[in-house]
């Protein structure tokens, strides 16, 4: 029953004070609806940036260096990431369900590395499982320019349709097949194309003239790490990417195969969120890896 006595009469309506302007810290998402925005806010910190830790390699590569024991590796790394990118199998196996990190759920199933052409993927996780697993976004791999281009774009638009129905953003992943070029022209085309088809976040590789790519892409771009390079090079790439308009990184092997993955992730955090120069973060990495 309503409590008439305890119901203090409201009077402070702030008449004449304008409500604060509605702003949203994720590029291009000001007009998205609330559910979508709250999930994007799980992924992107208040500074508009994110550190995604990718450990979904097993779905095409099987057991990879650094990821032999998901159950031992991931729990010690996850607290230093903003978002965990993984398959549903890996999540169930090694991420405790009380984990409060954003989840980028790998939602395509693609050919394994044993096949020459990996571009003929299918949707491997439906929207119901993405909801059940409380995904912050659904990742769909797209092969622009490859044999399976249209099929992979179909996977993307079907997933965007489903995501729009339930407020779950889609991460469009620009895949580069063995024979495909890694030029500014290619990445500019692929990133823009995926965003126009409705992807809310784009993952792509860093390349020359990267600022042209981020400028022409209406949604946030995160860079993939790619094959393992020396730690300082990886930190420099992350620094250049965010200086040229990227919203963060989605790195796997350059963290997982570092001499000290925890120290590497902490060093990446210094670059992405704390304004550190790569050399400074690398110095800190060297000290941290001795701890």
Residue 74, token pair as written in the block: 């991931």
Out of 224, 242, 264, 267, name the contact with ligand 5RP by CB under 6 A. 224
Instruction: Note whether 105 and 130 are within 8 A (CB).
Output: yes
18 counts as catalytic: no
Rounded to whole angstroms, how far apart are CA atoms 206 and 137? 22
- Contact between 56 and ligand 5RP (CB under 6 A)? yes
Rounded to whole angstroms, how far apart are CA atoms 248 and 223? 7
Rounded to whole angstroms, how far apart are CA atoms 29 and 231? 33
- Contact between 83 and ligand 5RP (CB under 6 A)? no
- Contact between 264 and ligand 5RP (CB under 6 A)? no
Which helix (H) or strand (E) segment holds residue 21: the answer is none
Binding mask 177-216 for ligand 5RP (x = CB under 6 A): --------------------------x-------------
- Contact between 251 and ligand 5RP (CB under 6 A)? yes
Out of 57, 88, 101, 200, name the contact with ligand 5RP by CB under 6 A. 57
CA angle in degrees (0–180, nearest 5) for 92-95-97 = 80
Minimum separation from the CB atom of position 44 to ligand 5RP (A): 18
Minimum separation from the CB atom of position 12 to ligand 5RP (A): 50
- Contact between 103 and ligand 5RP (CB under 6 A)? no
Q: Number of C-alpha atoms within 13 angstroms, CB side, residue 68? A: 3
Out of 40, 54, 133, 137, name the contact with ligand 5RP by CB under 6 A. 54
Decide: residue 76, CB within 10 A, 0-12 exposed, 13-18 middle, 19+ buried. exposed
- Contact between 146 and ligand 5RP (CB under 6 A)? no
Out of 173, 234, 238, 242, name the contact with ligand 5RP by CB under 6 A. 173
Size of residue set near ligand 5RP by CB under 6 A: 15
Considering the candidates 11, 203, 227, 228, report the single residue annotated as catalytic. 203
Residues 6+ apart with CB under 8 A from 262: 76, 77, 80, 288
């Amino acid at each position: 029953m309503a409590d008439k006595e305890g119901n203090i009469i409201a009077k402070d309506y702030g008449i004449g004070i304008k409500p604060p302007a509605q702003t949203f810290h994720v590029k291009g998402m000001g007009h998205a609806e609330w559910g979508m925005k709250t999930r994007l806010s799980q992924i992107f910190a208040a500074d508009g940036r994110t550190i995604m830790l990718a450990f979904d390699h097993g779905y095409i590569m099987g057991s990879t260096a650094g990821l032999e024991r998901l159950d031992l590796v991931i729990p010690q790394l996850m607290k230093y990431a903003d978002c965990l990118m993984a398959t549903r199998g890996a999540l169930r196996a090694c991420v405790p369900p009380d984990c409060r990190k954003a989840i980028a759920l790998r939602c395509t199933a693609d050919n394994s590395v044993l096949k020459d052409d990996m571009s003929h993927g299918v949707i491997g996780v439906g929207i119901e499982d993405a909801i059940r697993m409380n995904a912050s976004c659904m990742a769909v791999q797209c092969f622009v320019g490859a044999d399976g281009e249209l099929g992979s774009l179909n996977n993307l638009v079907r997933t965007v349709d489903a995501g729009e129905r339930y407020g779950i953003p889609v991460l469009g992943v620009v895949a580069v097949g063995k024979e495909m070029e890694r030029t500014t022209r290619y990445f500019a085309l692929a990133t823009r194309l995926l965003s126009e088809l409705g992807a809310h976040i784009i993952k792509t590789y860093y390349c020359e003239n990267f600022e042209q790519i981020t400028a022409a892409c209406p949604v946030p771009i995160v860079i993939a790490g790619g094959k393992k390079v020396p730690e300082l090079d990886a930190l420099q790439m992350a620094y250049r990417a965010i200086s040229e308009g990227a919203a963060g990184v989605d790195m796997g092997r350059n963290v997982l195969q570092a001499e000290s993955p925890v120290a590497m992730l902490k060093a990446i955090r210094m670059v992405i969120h704390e304004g550190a120069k790569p050399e400074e973060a690398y110095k800190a990495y060297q000290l941290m890896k001795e701890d």
